[in-house]
Structure 1
Amino acid sequence: MKSSSVARVLVLFIIAVCQFTIVLAQDLVIPAEEFAQRRAAVLEQMSDSSVAIFHAALLKTRSNDVEYEYRQANNLYYLTGITDHNVALVLVKGGVEIDSVRSNEVLFIPKSNPRMASVLGKTISMERVKRELGFEVVKGYSDFGKLVAKFLTGRKELLYSFPVEFLYDSVSHQRYFIAQKAKKSLGEKFDGLKVKSPNKILAGLRRIKSPAELRLLQKAIDITGEAHLAAMRAAKPELHEYQLEAIIEYVFKFGGAEYPAFPSIVGSGPNSTILHHWKNRRQLAKGDLVVVDIGAEFQGYSADVTRTIPANGKFTREQKEIYEIVLRAQKEAIAAVKPGVPFRDVHKVAKKIIRQAGYAKYFNHGTSHYLGLDTHDVGDRGPLQPGMVITVEPGIYIPQGAEIDQAYWNIGVRIEDDVLVTEDGHRLLSGKAPREIADIEKIMNEESKLFSILD
C-alpha cells in the first residue's frame, strides 16, 4: 500500500472513531472493601457449623488445544473480583486455623510458575492478594484438595454450587447424576454433612446493585448505545447481518468492553420475527425491518438493549403501526416500574396494551428480566426494590403466513431498555440509543464514517 493510501486510511480511521464518545474511566473498578463486605454478608447468612466453597469456572475447549476465551464464575467474581481460573474461595462460619492463623475466609490461587509466565503471563501473587484484597490466609490452588477434609470435618452443612457446566453442557444429565452421587458420598464420609446451594444467599445480595456496580452497568449500557448509533448509521440494503454485527462488536471493543454479553442478534426481514435469531448471515433488503438486540459486557456487567430499525432508513405505514404499538406498550410498562410493584406486573401492563391492539398472539415472551453479572441475572418474582436493574422489552412478531394482511408479514419489532428501580420510581439507563421513529430515521440519514474505511 502506498504511503499516501496508508495516511488516508489512518485519517479516516481517526474520523470514524471520533464518532464515538466513549472514554475509558479509571475509577470504575469495584473497591476491595466492597468485596470484603459481600463475603461478610454471606458469612452472616450462613448457618452455624457451615462452610461455603466457591470455585472458579472451568476452562472450555473450543477445538483440539484451543480454548474459548475464559470468563469467571459470577459468584466467585462477585465475592473476590478475581478473573483467573484455578481459584477457590472457602468461607467458614466460626473460622478455621490454617498455618497458625485463624480466619473465616481462605483463598486458593495458582502458585507462581516462572516457566508458564513466559507463555501465559504472570499470575497474581499471594502477597498482592493479601495486600490488595485483604485476605489473611491465601494458599496455593494445589493445596485445596489437601485441605478439603479439614474444612468439612465436623461441619453440618456445605454450601456449594457445582460448576455451571454441569447444568448446561452436552453431558449435563451425566454430570447431574455425578453431582448427586458426590453429595451422597460427602454426606456419608463427613457424618451426615448436608450439601446445599448458596445461590439463594447470593441472589439476595446480587439483585440489589451498589453504586459501584451501577457505574459499571451504566458504562456497559453506554457502550451498547454507541454501538446502536453506529449500526443505525451503517445499515442499508445489501449489507449483510454479519457486517452490522461486526460494526457493533467493533464499537464494543473500542469502548473497552471485554466481550459481547451474549451473541449479538441482528435479524432482518423474516429473521426479525425469530426471538433469538443468531446466524446473522442474511443480506438486508429494501423494506426489511432489522431487530438489533445487543449488549456489551464491561468488567463483568452486562447491558441488554434492543432497537428495531428499517433497513433503508424509512418505516413503512404498516411497520410504523406495529412499532408504535410496541413503543406505547414499552413506555407504559416502564412507567409502572417503582418500588413495591410485583415484578410480573410490568409484563401485565405491556401485555394489556398489545392485547387491546389485537396482537397478543404475536407477543410470545416475558417483558422483563433482571440485569447484572448475568444478562438474565438472578432475582425473583417478588416486589421491585430500589437498586434493582431490569429490562423492559415487549415485542410483536408477525411471521410469513400469519392469518393477517400480507402487508404485515415478516414484521418483527422489539424495543428493549434497561431500567433502574429508584427510591421514588425509576431511571432509564439506556436513553443514548434513540427509540422514537423520527429520531431513528434522522440518525439513519447520517453518514457512516466506518464505510470510508471499508470502501
Structure 2
Amino acid sequence: MNMRNFLSIVLISITFCSFSQTPTDYLSKEFHKERRDILRSKMPKNSVAVVFANPVRNRANDVDFIFHQDPNFYYLTGYKEPNAVLVLFSENQTDEKGNSYNEILYVQKRDARAEQWNGKRLGIEGAKQELGFAFAKNGEDFIKDAIDFKKFDKLFIEKFNDDYRNLSDAADVFDLVKSFKQKAGYNPDIFLSRPKEYLYTNIAETPIESSANVINIIDRLSSQFEDIKDDELIKQFKSAKTDAIRKDIKQKITLALQPKTNIDLTFLPSNLATMREIKTEAEIKLITKAVRISAIGQIEVMKAMKPHMSEMELQGIHEFVYKKYGAEYEGYPSIVGAGNNGCILHYVENNQTQVGNELVLMDLGAEYRGFTADVTRTIPANGKFTKEQKEIYDLVYNAQEAGIALYTIGTSMQAPNQAARKIINEGLFKLGIIKSIDEKHNYFPHGTSHHIGLDVHDPGNYENFEENMIVTMEPGIYIPIGSPCDKKYWGIGIRIEDDILVTKNGPVNLSAEAPRTTEEIEKMMAKKSVLDAFVLPDLDK
C-alpha cells in the first residue's frame, strides 16, 4: 500500500469516527441506580412503585413533537425513549425460574422498520448493558405479566394526566397505562384533590372550638377551587349552626380521609422532590455547563444587538450558541420581549420585527444533557440605558443582590423574595410610581426563587436552603403602557435572573459570566460581534 492510499484510509476513518461520535457526558448508569436505591430505601415493606415514561405528543397531522422524557422517569432510569415503565419493589421478588430481582424496566421493543424511520432503540440488551438493569423486558411483557399489584400494602404512582394517544404500537404508553389501571383496580373517583385533601385534613385535625379558623381557609380556597366550593361536606361544615353538627360532619370527613385503596399518589412526588432539590456533584457539573452556555448566549447577543433586529433574530442568536455548544434543546420556550412586550411575563411570540431603541428582556435557558438553565438579562437595544431605564434597572439589581446574599444554608427560601420586595417597594415609592411603601401593586407580580435541574421549575419542598441546591434569583419590575404612574416609565419591563448554587462558603452565582450592572452591559454592548459581517440576501427585492 502506498503512502497516499494509506493516508486516504486514515482520513476516511477519522472522518467516519468524527461523524459517528455521540455525547458521552450524560449522567452515568451508576447515578440512576443510586437514585433508585435511595427511593427504595424510603419505601415501606411490601410496597411497589410504578413510574411511566412520557408519551409521544402530536404537533399536527402526522408530525409529532420531538420526544422529551418525563424528568422523574429519566432521573430514575436514564432511559430517553417513550413507551416504557419502571417497576420498583421494596423487597426482592422471585420469578418463575427462581431468579431474584427488585426492579424491572420495560422498554420499547427493537423493531427494524421503526428504527429505520426514527432511530435505533436500546431494547432489552441495551437497557441491561447501557443502563445497568439486571432485569429488563419489552413493553408488551408488562401487559402480559401477571403482576398482582393488589397484593402490596402500598402501590406508589404519580397522578395520571391521561393525555396519551392510542398509537399503532401494541405497547405504547396508552396501552401500558390502560393495562396497569386494570391490574391495579385504579379508580380516579376515590382520590381527593390536593386542595380538598388539605382542607379535609385541616377540618379533621382542628379542634371544634377553633372552627372559625378553618372556615377562613374554606372561604379562601373556595374562590380558587370549584371542587371545594361544590363539596357537600365542606358546605355543611361551614353552615353548621352548632358544634354538635360540626362534630358529626368532622367524623364523616375523617372517614373520607381514610384510604380505600392501596394506591398512593403522594409518596413519589414528595420523595422525588426531596431527592431532586439537592444536587449531586455530577448534576452540578451538568447544570453549571447549561448555565454557562446560557450566559455566553447572553454575552454574544449583547455584542450583536442592533435596533433594526427582530425579537426572533435575537432568539436565534441565543439558540445558535446553545447548539454550538451541543445543548440539545431549550429548557423552556424562549422569551425575547422588546419594550412593552417585556412586561408580559411569559411572552413567547417573539415576533416584533424591530426592537428599536427599547429595552429588550431576554429570558432563555439551554438544556444540556437533560438539565436546564434559566438566565435573564434586560439590555437597551441601542447600547445605552436612558435615565428612567437605569433607575428601574438599578432598583431590580439592588433587590437581586440583597436576595442572593441570603442564599445561605439554613435560611428560609422565602427570605430572598421578602428582601427583594422590600427594596423594590421602597424604590418604587421613592420614584413616585407607588403612593406608599405598603401600596398593593402589580409591578412585581411573581416570586424570586425556584429550583432548576431536569425541569426549569424543578420540584422541591421550598423550606430552607441546603447545601448543593441550585435556585434562581429573579426579581423584576414591569410597568406596562397605561399604568397609573408617570408616562416616562411606561413600557419598561426589567427582570434579572441568575442561577445560584448554595455552598458551605456562601452563594455562588453560576451565571455571573453574563454582565449584570448597567455599566458592564453597556461596556459589553460596545464590543464588536462576530455576527456583524453576517448579512443574508434580501428576499423581498
Give me the identity figure in percent. Answer: 39
Q: What is aligned with 1:143?
A: 141
Residue 91 of structure 1 contacts residue 106 of structure 1 at CA under 8 Å; is this kept in 2?
A: yes
Partners of 1:200 and 1:164 in 2: CA distance: 17
Partners of 1:186 and 1:315 in 2: CA distance: 57
Secondary structure at the counterpart of residue 150 of structure 1: coil
Q: What is aligned with 1:132?
A: 130
Distance 1:317 1:273, change over 3 A: same
Q: What is aligned with 2:11?
A: none
Asked if 1:307 is matched to 2:380, the reply is no
Q: What is aligned with 2:104?
A: 106
Asked if 1:77 is matched to 2:90, the reply is no
Secondary structure at the counterpart of residue 342 of structure 1: coil
Deviation at 1:401, TM superposition (A): 1.6
Partners of 2:348 and 2:189 in 1: CA distance: 42
The worse-fitting range, judged by mean Cα deviation, of 108-117 and 335-344 is 108-117
Partners of 1:290 and 1:259 in 2: CA distance: 22
Q: What is aligned with 2:517?
A: 436
Per-residue CA deviation, residues 305-360 of structure 1 (Å, 9 max, x unaligned), is 00000010100011111101100000010011101111111100100100111267
Per-residue CA deviation, residues 190-219 of structure 1 (Å, 9 max, x unaligned), is x94333241111111111000000011011
The worse-fitting range, judged by mean Cα deviation, of 114-123 and 334-343 is 114-123
Q: What is aligned with 2:47?
A: 50
Q: What is aligned with 1:10?
A: none
Number of residue pairs the alignment of both structures matches? 419
- For 1:259, give the aligned amino acid: Y
Secondary structure at the counterpart of residue 400 of structure 2: helix
Deviation at 1:113, TM superposition (A): 1.4
Q: Which runs of 5+ in 1 are unaligned?
A: 1-23, 168-174
Pairwise CA RMSD of aligned residues? Answer: 2.4
Distance 1:286 1:206, change over 3 A: same
Residue 289 of structure 1 contacts residue 309 of structure 1 at CA under 8 Å; is this kept in 2?
A: yes
1:291-370 alignment, distance < 5 Å? 291-357=361-427, 358=429, 361=441, 362-370=443-451
Partners of 2:352 and 2:261 in 1: CA distance: 57
Q: What is aligned with 1:449?
A: 530
1:386-405 alignment, distance < 5 Å? 386-405=467-486
1:267 to 316, 328, 337: 337
Partners of 1:288 and 1:89 in 2: CA distance: 50
Partners of 1:128 and 1:404 in 2: CA distance: 62
Partners of 1:216 and 1:426 in 2: CA distance: 18
Per-residue CA deviation, residues 235-268 of structure 1 (Å, 9 max, x unaligned), is 1112110111111111111111111111110010
Asked if 1:193 is matched to 2:191, the reply is no
Deviation at 1:449, TM superposition (A): 1.9
After TM superposition, what 4+ stretches of structure 1 lie above 4 angstroms from structure 2?
A: 24-27, 163-167, 179-182
1:91 to 88, 91, 96: 88
Distance 1:66 1:350, change over 3 A: same
Distance 1:384 1:165, change over 3 A: farther
Distance 1:163 1:70, change over 3 A: farther
Distance 1:346 1:312, change over 3 A: same
Per-residue CA deviation, residues 146-175 of structure 1 (Å, 9 max, x unaligned), is 22x4141411211111455659xxxxxxx9
Secondary structure at the counterpart of residue 158 of structure 1: strand
By relative contact order (CA 8 Å, sep 6+), the higher-ranking structure is: 1
Q: What is aligned with 1:184?
A: 187
2:33 to 36, 56, 75: 36
Residue 220 of structure 1 contacts residue 257 of structure 1 at CA under 8 Å; is this kept in 2?
A: yes
The worse-fitting range, judged by mean Cα deviation, of 402-411 and 127-136 is 127-136
Distance 1:232 1:163, change over 3 A: farther
Deviation at 1:284, TM superposition (A): 3.4
Residue 237 of structure 1 contacts residue 283 of structure 1 at CA under 8 Å; is this kept in 2?
A: no
1:411 to 461, 478, 492: 492
Residue 28 of structure 1 contacts residue 212 of structure 1 at CA under 8 Å; is this kept in 2?
A: no
Secondary structure at the counterpart of residue 91 of structure 1: strand
Deviation at 1:182, TM superposition (A): 6.3
Q: Which runs of 5+ in 2 are unaligned?
A: 1-20, 165-176, 191-259, 537-541
Deviation at 1:129, TM superposition (A): 2.2
The worse-fitting range, judged by mean Cα deviation, of 214-223 and 284-293 is 284-293
Partners of 1:110 and 1:274 in 2: CA distance: 41
Residue 338 of structure 2 contacts residue 359 of structure 2 at CA under 8 Å; is this kept in 1?
A: yes
In the superposition, the TM-score normalised over structure 2's length comes to 0.74
Partners of 1:134 and 1:283 in 2: CA distance: 50
